[in-house]
């Protein structure tokens, strides 16, 4: 029986040992799905603290309940370790490590390279390796394959190598690792077959594609699609501002089209570990091939200008009250990168706060999901959302629209609210002067406009 048949048998009878490298928002949910499917799972992470807390049954990932971790640890189906030598015991390994951008917005492949080295030092005949981290097309074949074959193992015969993009949407109440279709592309057809069998053991829908490059590009298309369309609606917000039109009304009306349209909403910029970064992996690869990906570059330009656009709106709104930004007290509502999560990575709120402080504003923030964060080596705490805090602020700026904030309370006690997310569109007329993202007006309460 060949290596492929042996591995398929061990996957089918659940005797295969599965490794997951990187126990973050992608790796930990995946490890739990493999464990729940009946496999023994070895989670490898370089953070000893993460491994220790997981072994105590504590989850650091919002979408993974601690009870689930504790159950799998207790059942002996999941172990978290910072010892890379444990990877030797694995028949299949999924890599879910970060792929950030460097300061010059070039791919930072250091985590993928470190994981590849750890696996190369511990791989053996019959092993399947799957890269899940978002990366430029060609990584699996150009970076991982040579390193593994340098161990004297032939990909497609002795070992199997595939790419399968992660599609985790943190905080999504409906779509999880198990029910989100899983694209799988391999370096050879045998690699696709084995990787599809592995993921098919615990994920409802498998979508095999013909190559690792195709799978790498699927992910980049998905997230470039988002970045470009968010850039489009952000530009539409600026267009509506200049025309004095409510961009939210335009978008909501356009969204009634039952075909050929998909709703995106403007905001103060884009954050997260996917959308602002992933498209630049493709742009970088294409630059190496002397091609300029203009859509990606333009979307990035517009999206990264939005914090400045918001700060200009705040300055104009304060000016209407004969106030300068300099010396004004400004309360930012919501600093996570999107609503109802605690993740702040790449959040545009930090750009808005920085730009306001550079102009001399005294900035506080309130975010029920982010009570404090580390800034320049020291801890910065949010303030409670009280009547006094709202009355004290010269301007309140809604940057992230968490559902659990009482926006009626905000508009009842604040004097000026700059709303970048249209959360006040549903509040009753109140004391506050509300300035929306696109200039409907800068002074007339929304309710009175209906008669103009
Ligand atoms: N944003 C807008 N307008 C929109 C949508 C998003 O301004 O219409 C902003 C958000 O506020 C946020 C950023 O863009 O700052 C990213 O938002 P996102 O909804 O894309 O959320 P992410 O970053 O969590 O994206 C993830 C992605 N998942 C992966 O890449 C694995 C993405 O592919 C998902 O489609 C997305 O979740 C989702 O569906 O929400």
From the CB of 226, is ligand 1 less than 6 Å away? yes
- Average pLDDT, integer, range 120-131: 98
Instruction: Give the pLDDT band (50/70/90) at residue 449.
Output: very low
At residue 41, does pLDDT exceed 50?
A: yes
Output the CA 421–ligand 1 centroid distance in Å. Answer: 14
At residue 446, does pLDDT exceed 90?
A: no
Probe residue for ligand 1, chosen from 135, 274, 367, 422 as the CB with the greatest number of ligand atoms within 8 Å? 274
Task: List pLDDT tens digits, range 143-154.
Answer: 999 999 999 999
Task: List pLDDT tens digits, range 251-281.
Answer: 999 999 999 999 999 999 999 989 999 999 9
Instruction: Give the pLDDT band (50/70/90) at residue 425.
Output: confident
- Average pLDDT, integer, range 374-388: 95
Output the CA 370–ligand 1 centroid distance in Å. Answer: 19
Catalytic residue, from 51, 90, 123, 274: name it. Answer: 274
At residue 452, does pLDDT exceed 50?
A: no
Q: Residue 170 CA: which ligand 1 atom is closest?
A: 24
Instruction: Give the pLDDT band (50/70/90) at residue 170.
Output: confident
At residue 103, does pLDDT exceed 90?
A: no
Q: Does the annotation mark 123 as catalytic?
A: no
Please tell me the predicted confidence (pLDDT) of residue 447.
46
At residue 36, does pLDDT exceed 60?
A: yes
Task: List pLDDT tens digits, range 175-194.
Answer: 999 999 999 999 999 999 99
From the CB of 182, is ligand 1 less than 6 Å away? no
From the CB of 414, is ligand 1 less than 6 Å away? no
Q: Residue 234 CA: which ligand 1 atom is closest?
A: 7
At residue 299, does pLDDT exceed 70?
A: yes
From the CB of 264, is ligand 1 less than 6 Å away? yes
Place of tokens 């997310």: 421
At residue 4, does pLDDT exceed 70?
A: yes
> Considering the chain, what is the average pLDDT of its residues?
95
Instruction: Report the C-alpha gap between 133 and 10 in whole angstroms.
Output: 25
Please tell me the predicted confidence (pLDDT) of residue 440.
57
% of the chain at pLDDT higher than 70: 97
At residue 448, does pLDDT exceed 90?
A: no
From the CB of 165, is ligand 1 less than 6 Å away? no
% of the chain at pLDDT higher than 90: 91
At residue 426, does pLDDT exceed 70?
A: yes
């Amino acid at each position: 029986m060949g290596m492929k048949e042996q591995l398929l048998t061990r996957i089918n009878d659940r005797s295969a040992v599965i490794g997951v490298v990187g126990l973050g928002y992608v790796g930990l949910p995946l490890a739990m799905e493999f464990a729940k499917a009946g496999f023994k799972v070895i989670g490898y992470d370089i953070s000893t603290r993460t491994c220790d807390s997981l072994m105590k049954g504590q989850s650091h990932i919002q979408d993974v309940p601690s009870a689930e971790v504790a159950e799998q640890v207790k059942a002996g189906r999941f172990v978290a370790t910072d010892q890379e030598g444990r990877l030797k015991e694995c028949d299949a390994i999924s890599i879910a490590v970060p792929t950030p951008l460097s300061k010059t917005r070039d791919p930072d492949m250091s985590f993928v390279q470190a994981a590849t080295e750890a696996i190369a030092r511990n791989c053996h005949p019959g092993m399947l390796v799957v890269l899940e981290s978002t990366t430029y097309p060609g990584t699996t074949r150009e970076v991982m394959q040579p390193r593994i074959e340098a161990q004297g193992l032939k990909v497609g015969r002795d070992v199997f190598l595939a790419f399968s993009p992660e599609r985790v949407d943190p905080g999504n109440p409906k779509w999880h690792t198990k029910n989100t279709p899983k694209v799988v592309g391999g370096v050879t057809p045998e690699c696709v077959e084995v990787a599809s069998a592995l993921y098919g053991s615990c994920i409802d829908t498998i979508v095999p594609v013909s190559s690792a490059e195709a799978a790498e590009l699927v992910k980049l298309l998905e997230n470039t699609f988002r970045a470009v369309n968010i850039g489009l609606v952000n530009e539409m917000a600026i267009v509506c501002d200049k025309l004095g039109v409510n961009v939210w009304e335009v978008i909501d009306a356009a969204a009634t089209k039952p075909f050929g349209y998909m709703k995106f909403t403007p905001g103060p910029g884009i954050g997260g570990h996917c959308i602002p970064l992933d498209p630049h992996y493709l742009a970088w690869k294409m630059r190496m091939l002397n091609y300029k990906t203009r859509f990606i570059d333009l979307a990035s330009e517009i999206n990264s200008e939005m914090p400045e656009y918001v700060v200009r709106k705040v300055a104009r709104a304060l000016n209407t009250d004969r106030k300068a930004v300099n010396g004004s007290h400004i309360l930012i509502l919501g600093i996570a990168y999107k609503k109802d999560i605690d993740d702040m990575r790449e959040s545009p709120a930090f750009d808005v706060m920085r730009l306001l402080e550079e102009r001399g504003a005294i900035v506080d923030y309130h975010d029920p999901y982010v009570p404090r964060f580390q800034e320049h080596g020291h801890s910065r705490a949010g303030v409670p959302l009280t009547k006094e805090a709202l009355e004290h602020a010269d301007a309140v700026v809604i940057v992230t629209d968490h559902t659990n904030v009482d926006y009626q309370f905000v508009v009842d006690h604040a004097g000026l609210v700059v709303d970048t997310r249209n959360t006040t569109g549903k509040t009753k007329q109140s004391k506050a002067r509300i300035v929306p993202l696109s200039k409907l007006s800068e002074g007339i309460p929304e309710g009175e406009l209906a008669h103009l």
